[in-house]
Amino acid sequence: MATYREILEKTKAEIREVDAAEAQALEGAVWVDVRRHDEWDEGHIPGAIHIPRGSLESRIESRAPDHSLPVVLYCASGERSAFAAKTLAELGYEHPVSLAGGFTDWKRNGYEIKLPTSLSPEKRARYSRHILIPEIGEEGQLKLLDSKILLLGAGGLGSPAALYLAAAGVGHIGIVDADIVDESNLQRQIVHSLNTLGTPKVDSAKRTIEALNPDVRVTTYRERLTSENIDRILDDGWEIVVDGTDNFPTRYLLNDACVWRGIPVVYGSIYRFEGQVSVFKSGDGPCYRCLFPAPPPPELAPSCSEGGVLGVLPGIIGSLQTNEALKLALGIGEPLIGRLLLFDALTTEFDEMRIKRNPDCPVCGEHPTITEYVDYVEFCTR
Amino acid sequence: MSVVRVPPVLREEAGGAREVEASGATVRELLEDLAGRMPALGDKIYDGDEIRPYVNVYVDGEDVRTSGGLDAPVREGATVVLLPAMAGGKL
């Protein structure tokens, strides 16, 4: 019968141990902390993911799907991580390594650590259905609580977005809207209610969000987005914008600003029974101007008096936008970049059009011709 | 013959139809055929020389501007989607 020491020595001989400098030189490595929850909570290596040793076999493949990339495993002293490295080798990982001396030596040698940022028991309970999903977990929930998402418009599309982003625990939500809640809004704008009729939409939405989730901070901008105020609003550090606007001038203004700032825009648009969704992320895919270089001239624009929309349609399209925004905030899945999703509520059909970056795009192309904000004349205000 | 899906904002120009048929082996031939039979619809998407800049035409999910333009081939039975810029959202 072998002793623990003998098994440990034998395991260490079978795996590769690295020191902190060697570990940091491994390109593309995934860092995995295999300690217990309470140990992780007291501090860990920045960028590492947490998979307790007991769940390693079942959870590693969803967090580190590429078996060819190096995986740096660490525990407190380098013992549990040695066994973990052996397990990963058995699972087919090509370069699992164990950090010699573990987190204790890492900390003692003065390397950077990330101090406790863990969820309180109340938050753990509130977000338990997120935490249970391996792709989100506590780490993902902390990301959401730390993210800043701006909603342009607190109307049909902005309503479900505001509610679901708030319920999901997005820590800071900004809302831009100059309008007042009107009776005709209540057929679809579910963030508002009879109680807030006649009040500014931003205040009404803020009230609903705060009643739903006190973890969310709300910043309101009771104004219409213009070339005058767009920089001031975006300077507040919004990381993702959910575009629920109703007019061309704002869409183009937002697009240009977000291309220049590298902020992804989750686009949505609705009309009667039909809607569109896409994600414009400059650098990774096309922008709105790649799709439509310029707005239609006023005389050829579709008439707005023929508008109207099925009440649930913005609920569907706004929820699809929220799904994209949450994925972007979490850094998971495949966002709708370079894809335009069309939805027809009458036939319940989805279609997807491929959209490409236009090398001649006036804003994100190779030789941009638009380098400052363009104020298009608003030719249709309902 | 190809099926052309008409977006809601252009249905009035297509006599209310959600889909119309058009024939042509290239995008140009197809648009000419459509414009010949439905001038009002044709005019909104095609000026006789170019596809209007605020309208996109997709053949089987591919934007024709990035796949050969007006000379792009259209296979028999293709699905053509007309997509003008849409502003609605908050409405």
Asked if A177's CB is within 8 angstroms of B53's CB, the reply is no
Residue A378 has pLDDT above 80, yes or no: no
Please report which helix (H) or strand (E) contains residue A329, including its range. helix A312-330
- Mutation pick from A248, A252, A355 vs chain B, by most beta carbons of B within 10 Å, is A355
In a domain, B40, yes or no: yes
Nearest residue of A to residue B44 by CA position? A300
Nearest residue of A to residue B45 by CA position? A300
The count of CB pairs under 8 A between chains A and B is: 99
- Cα atoms in the 13 Å half-sphere on the side-chain side of A134: 13
> In this structure, are A147 and A78 located in the same domain?
no
In a domain, B39, yes or no: yes
> In this structure, are A103 and A206 located in the same domain?
no
Nearest residue of B to residue A309 by CA position? B91
- Burial annotation A186-212 (CB, 10 A radius, 16+ → b, else e): eebbbbbeeebeeebbbbbbbbbbeee
C-alpha distance from A154 to closest chain B C-alpha (Å) = 7
> In this structure, are A172 and A320 located in the same domain?
yes
In a domain, A363, yes or no: no
Among A24-33, A112-121, A268-277, A323-332, name the one with the lowest average pLDDT.
A112-121
Token representation of residue A104: 């204790």
In a domain, B91, yes or no: no
Tell me which chain B residues have a C-beta less than 8 angstroms from the C-beta of A244: 89-90
> In this structure, are A79 and A39 located in the same domain?
yes
C-alpha distance from A228 to closest chain B C-alpha (Å) = 21
> In this structure, are A327 and A191 located in the same domain?
yes
A168: helix, strand or coil: helix
If one compares A302 and A43, the residue with the highest pLDDT of the two is: A43
| Interface residue B68 vs chain A (CB under 8 A) | no
Residue span of the structural domain in which A42 resides = 4-118
In a domain, B89, yes or no: no
| pTM given for the model | 0.76
Q: What is the mean pLDDT of residues A100-126?
A: 87
Confidence of residue B90 (pLDDT cuts 50, 70, 90): very low
Asked if A246's CB is within 8 angstroms of B90's CB, the reply is yes
Spatial separation of the C-alpha atoms in residues A366 and A260, rounded to whole Å? 14
Q: Which CATH number fits the domain that encloses residue B51?
A: 3.10.20.30
In a domain, A276, yes or no: yes
Nearest residue of B to residue A292 by CA position? B54
Number of domains in chain A: 2
Spatial separation of the C-alpha atoms in residues A140 and A329, rounded to whole Å? 9
> In this structure, are A218 and A259 located in the same domain?
yes
Per-residue pLDDT at A305: 45
In a domain, A75, yes or no: yes
In a domain, B90, yes or no: no
Nearest residue of A to residue B80 by CA position? A353
> In this structure, are A194 and A112 located in the same domain?
no
> In this structure, are A42 and A172 located in the same domain?
no
Q: Which of A14, A21, A48, A16 is nearest to A34 (CA)?
A: A48
Spatial separation of the C-alpha atoms in residues A8 and B41, rounded to whole Å? 77
Tell me which DSSP letter residue A295 carries.
P
Number of domains in chain B: 1
Confidence of residue A269 (pLDDT cuts 50, 70, 90): very high
In a domain, A359, yes or no: no
Residue pointed to by tokens 């390693």: A56
- Cα atoms in the 13 Å half-sphere on the side-chain side of A73: 29
Which ipTM did the prediction report? 0.88
Residue span of the structural domain in which B17 resides = 2-84
> In this structure, are A132 and A114 located in the same domain?
no
Spatial separation of the C-alpha atoms in residues B57 and A339, rounded to whole Å? 15
Q: What is the mean pLDDT of residues A250-279?
A: 95
In a domain, A33, yes or no: yes
Spatial separation of the C-alpha atoms in residues A312 and A294, rounded to whole Å? 30
In a domain, A369, yes or no: no
Helix residue ranges per DSSP H, A169-229: 201-212
In a domain, A373, yes or no: no
Asked if A342's CB is within 8 angstroms of B81's CB, the reply is yes
> In this structure, are A180 and A94 located in the same domain?
no
In a domain, A270, yes or no: yes
| Interface residue B81 vs chain A (CB under 8 A) | yes
If one compares A115 and A350, the residue with the highest pLDDT of the two is: A350
| Interface residue B91 vs chain A (CB under 8 A) | yes
> In this structure, are A190 and A133 located in the same domain?
yes
In a domain, B25, yes or no: yes
Q: Which CATH number fits the domain that encloses residue A35?
A: 3.40.250.10
> In this structure, are A108 and A257 located in the same domain?
no
Please report which helix (H) or strand (E) contains residue A16, including its range. strand A16-18
Asked if A271's CB is within 8 angstroms of B8's CB, the reply is yes
